Amino acid sequence: MSSIADVKGTYVLDPSHSQIGFVARHAMVTKVRGTFDSYTGTATVDGAAPETSSLEVTIDVASVSTRDEGRDGHLRGADFFDVEKYPTITFVGTGFDVDGDVVNVTGDLTIKGITKPVTIPFEFAGAAKDPFGNERIGFEGKVTVNRRDWDLTWNAALETGGLLVSEKVVLEFEVSAIKQA
C-alpha cells in the first residue's frame, strides 16, 4: 500500500508500537510531556470511501505518566482528570476527509464527561507487513486544544506573572494499527 486510498479493513491499535500523549507548558518556561500507557482503539478504514470509515479510542486515564509520580497523582485527582468519577477519555470519529497523505478526522472527544468536537489531522506514515505476517498501517497526528473546554481548570499563579500550567495543550498521536479483517 503506497497511499491512503489503498487502505481498507478493520484495524486495532497496537499499544506496544503506538503512543498517545500530550504536551503542556509548565511555569511558562518549559514543556512537560505526558503519555497514557493503557488504551484501546479500533478503526474500520476505507481509504477509497473515507466517509464510510469509523474510529473509536478509549484511554484509561489512570495510566497517565509524566515520569513524576507526584505530578501524575495530582493529574489523576479531582483538580484535573478525577479518575474516580471519570476513568476514561474517549474519542469517536464522526467525519473523515482525505487530503493527499493526510486524513482529517473529526470526532467527539470526551474528557470528564464533557464532549466537544475536535479535528485531528493524521499524516499517513505508510503500510507494511511485519515479520510476523501482520499487516500494519501507521499515522501521526497532533492538535492543540484548550484544556478549560473539558473543565481541566486547576492552576496556580506565578510570582513573576503568568500561570503554572498552560491552558493550551498539544495532543500527540503516533499510531501503529494491525489489520484484523
Average pLDDT score, the chain = 91
pTM of the model: 0.91
Q: What is the pLDDT of residues 64-101, one digit of tens each?
A: 999 999 989 989 999 899 999 999 999 999 999 999 99
Between CA 161 and CA 62 the distance in angstroms is: 32
| Type and span of the H or E element at 72 | helix 69-76
Grid cell, residue 42, equals 479500533
CATH, domain 4-179, list 1.10.3470.10, 2.40.10.480, 3.40.50.2000, 2.40.128.110: 2.40.128.110
Q: Torsion over CA of 176, 11, 178 and 62, rounded to 10 degrees?
A: 60
Q: How confident is the model at residue 24 (pLDDT cuts 50, 70, 90)?
A: confident
The answer to whether the beta carbons of residues 89 and 80 sit under 8 Å apart is: no
Mean pLDDT of 144-159: 79
* 27 pLDDT higher than 70: no
Give 181's Cβ-side CA count (13 Å radius): 4
The owner of cell 481541566 is 152
Between CA 95 and CA 83 the distance in angstroms is: 28
* 1 pLDDT higher than 70: no
The answer to whether the beta carbons of residues 54 and 65 sit under 8 Å apart is: no
- Top pLDDT among 153 and 132 is at 132
Sign of CA dihedral 17, 105, 140, 48: positive
pLDDT of residue 98: 93
Mean pLDDT of 24-30: 71
Which residue in 33, 39, 38 sits closest to 67, CA to CA? 33
Domain positions in the chain:
4-179
